[in-house]
């Protein structure tokens, strides 16, 4: 076997090895990205969920204020009913988020 054939075989082996190492590296990078996305989506409440909860709490505060400063009994009852509905919606969203987090932590 002459030197050219040996070099071709050696370069081929190194090229295949380089391609395999690159493939494994890309696979590990993809798995790392997926784990980071799962962490951001499942374990850390998203900013939109926190923002939505803050908006709902501000609506509840304003409706409570309107209920207490309003002299009309019917309007006061309407605002208080709206506060109860908004608070129930806030609790439902919180329960839904908590359930989603606990399911994702168990791997379901």
| Torsion, Cα of 94, 100, 106, 108 (10° steps) | 160
Going from N- to C-terminal start, the domains of the chain cover: 1-44, 46-108
The tens digit of pLDDT for each residue in 10-37 reads 999 999 999 999 999 999 999 999 888 8
The tens digit of pLDDT for each residue in 37-56 reads 877 766 666 677 778 888 88
pLDDT at 46: 67
User: Higher confidence at residue 41 or residue 82?
Assistant: 82
Task: Kindly report the pTM of this predicted structure.
Answer: 0.47
A 10 A CB-CB count for 63 gives: 20
Helices and strands in the chain: count of H runs, count of E runs: 3, 0
């Amino acid at each position: 076997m002459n030197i050219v054939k040996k070099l071709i075989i050696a370069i081929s082996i190194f090229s295949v090895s380089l391609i395999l190492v690159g493939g494994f590296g890309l696979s590990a990078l993809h798995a790392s990205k997926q784990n980071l996305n799962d962490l951001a989506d499942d374990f850390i409440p998203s900013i939109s969920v926190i923002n939505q909860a803050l908006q709902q709490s501000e609506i509840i505060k304003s409706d409570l204020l309107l209920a207490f400063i309003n002299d009309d009994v019917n309007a006061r009852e309407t605002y208080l009913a709206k506060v109860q509905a908004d608070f129930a919606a806030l609790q439902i969203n919180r329960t839904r988020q908590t359930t989603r987090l606990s399911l994702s932590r168990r791997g379901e």
